[in-house]
Amino acid sequence: MSVRPPRARIAAPDDPDALAATWRAIGARWGAGAGIAFGSPDGSDRRTARAAAVSEAADAVGAPPRAPEHEADGRPCWPAGWTGSVSHRAGVTIALLRRAGPGVAVGVDVEETGALSVAEAALVLSPAELEDCRAAADPAAHATVTWSVKEAAFKAWSTVAGGLAGVDPLDIAVDWVGYEVVVAAVGPLARRVATPALVGDVRVGGPLTLAVVGTPASRGASAARGCSGVGDRR
Ligand SMILES: CC(C)(COP(=O)(O)OP(=O)(O)OC[C@H]1O[C@@H](n2cnc3c(N)ncnc32)[C@H](O)[C@@H]1OP(=O)(O)O)[C@@H](O)C(=O)NCCC(=O)NCCS
């Protein structure tokens, strides 16, 4: 066993400029457009926040500026040629948008740091992953970021696969190589996804945990199929 806690820290959400700068820098590392929106006293709701975050992400990479429609399972349906991901938590909405291509995937997740206790994580983390959590300086923070990586990976694979129902969280294996996160589809999931090995990029600190999981930025981009969007659900 080796414990390799996430190395970087992010600004707290009460410092939105710093958090936004961090998120945009993460997007640049992925060759992607990053957008972020904050819940505000003026009553920004989920749909408004999603539209703002996606619009900023689209601007950054010259993508069509519209927010995704959704398939019946909640999966976003991006414009042809693009793929991306959205996550909301604690008044923060993040979006990442990158050029699509064969096997190109990306998923994002934001969680409240330490939200998942190790006891709760026992339902969704493998014995090896739990062992890492228990040995970490902050077991709940480690459990939460591991779960967040799984959620981001699920979104990445689900979006590219055209839907992934009934995934066993234990079929998403998270490991740390140095400070890098490696995510593998194992068991039955490995036969359902085109790119069973993904890499992750995480930031933990202050109240928020951010995770991006996908194929590396160098993966080629080319035409991608559109999807049958069934309209915005919210
Ligand atoms: C779908 C799911 C990933 C959403 O995560 P969450 O933490 O509840 O919520 P988040 O705010 O982080 O993400 C919500 C966004 O995920 C995206 N999303 C929803 N369903 C999705 C799906 N089936 N595939 C890919 N992305 C999806 C949407 O963009 C949504 O935001 P939007 O409606 O504003 O566009 C989560 O509910 C889930 O995991 N469901 C299935 C259970 C499962 O198999 N999980 C495997 C994890 S190991």
Note the pLDDT of residue 221.
41
Per the prediction, the chain carries an average pLDDT of 86
Alpha helices in 137-225 (DSSP H): 139-161
> What are 137's two structure tokens?
């300086």
Contact criterion met (CB below 8 Å) for 105 and 83: yes
Tokens 């080319």 appear where? 222
Question: Does the 16-65+73-214 domain belong in CATH 3.90.470.20?
Answer: yes
Distance 75 CA to ligand 1 centre (A): 7
Res. 5 pLDDT band, cuts 50 70 90: low
Give the residue among 203, 142, 219, 205 at the shortest CA–CA distance from 174. Answer: 142
Note the pLDDT of residue 36.
96
Atom of ligand 1 nearest to the CA of 47: 34
Distance 50 CA to ligand 1 centre (A): 13
Res. 1 pLDDT band, cuts 50 70 90: very low
Note the pLDDT of residue 229.
37
pLDDT per position as a tens digit, 80-94: 899 999 999 988 999
Mean pLDDT over 49-59 rounds to 94
**pLDDT reading at 169 higher than 50:** yes
If residue 89 lies in a helix (H) or strand (E), which one and from where to where? strand 82-89
Note the pLDDT of residue 63.
92
**pLDDT reading at 60 higher than 70:** yes
- Name the residue ranges covered by the structural domains of the chain: 16-65+73-214
Note the pLDDT of residue 44.
64
Distance 213 CA to ligand 1 centre (A): 14
> What are 88's two structure tokens?
């909301």
Note the pLDDT of residue 12.
62
If residue 17 lies in a helix (H) or strand (E), which one and from where to where? helix 16-29
Question: Which one of 87, 109, 174 would you pick to mutate in the ligand 1 pocket, going by the greatest count of ligand atoms within 8 A of its CB?
Answer: 87
Mean pLDDT over 116-137 rounds to 95
What's the pTM? 0.91
Distance 37 CA to ligand 1 centre (A): 18
**pLDDT reading at 56 higher than 50:** yes
Q: Which carries the bigger pLDDT value, residue 2 or residue 113?
A: 113
What b/e readout covers 26-52, taking b as 16+ CB neighbours within 10 angstroms? bbeebebbbbbbbbeeeebeeebbbbb
> What are 13's two structure tokens?
């959400």
Question: Which one of 36, 46, 83, 86 would you pick to mutate in the ligand 1 pocket, going by the greatest count of ligand atoms within 8 A of its CB?
Answer: 86
